[in-house]
Homo-oligomer: A and B are copies of this chain.
Amino acid sequence: MALILIRFSPSKPKKGELVKVSVVVRHPMEPGTRKDENGQIIPANYITELEVAHGGERVAHVNPGRGVSANPLFAFMIKAEPGEVTVRYTDTAGETGEKSKTLKVAE
């Protein structure tokens, strides 16, 4: 299963402050058009869906295309409310992965 990294910036925002959520998935993102050293097509294997929830509510839903790099990064802004941020992905190989990180909010 691919490694998922979740980062909050600032790491401990004040309530209601904007916080940037960065998600990196360690994934090869093979577009299915590259050849290996023997001239064989490397099969497509890329993330087709990535979903981010915050406190149980979906805040972002991303469908990366073939043109997205290996180890894709996605980032977006949310308003800081304490709660768990959960990332789920599905790739063309049918593999899924999930990771959660608790967003802590300064009083």
Q: A57, A61, A63, A76: which has the most chain B beta carbons within 10 Å?
A: A76
Q: Which residues of B contact A73 (CB under 8 A)?
A: 20, 75-77
Complex copy number for this chain: 2
Contact A68 B78 (CB under 8 A): yes
CB of A105 within 8 Å of the partner chain: no
CB of A58 within 8 Å of the partner chain: yes
Chain A residues touching B, range: 20 to 34
Q: Which residues of B contact A64 (CB under 8 A)?
A: 59-61, 76
Q: Which residues of B contact A58 (CB under 8 A)?
A: 65, 67
A: residues with CB less than 8 A from B are 18, 20, 54-55, 57-69, 71-79
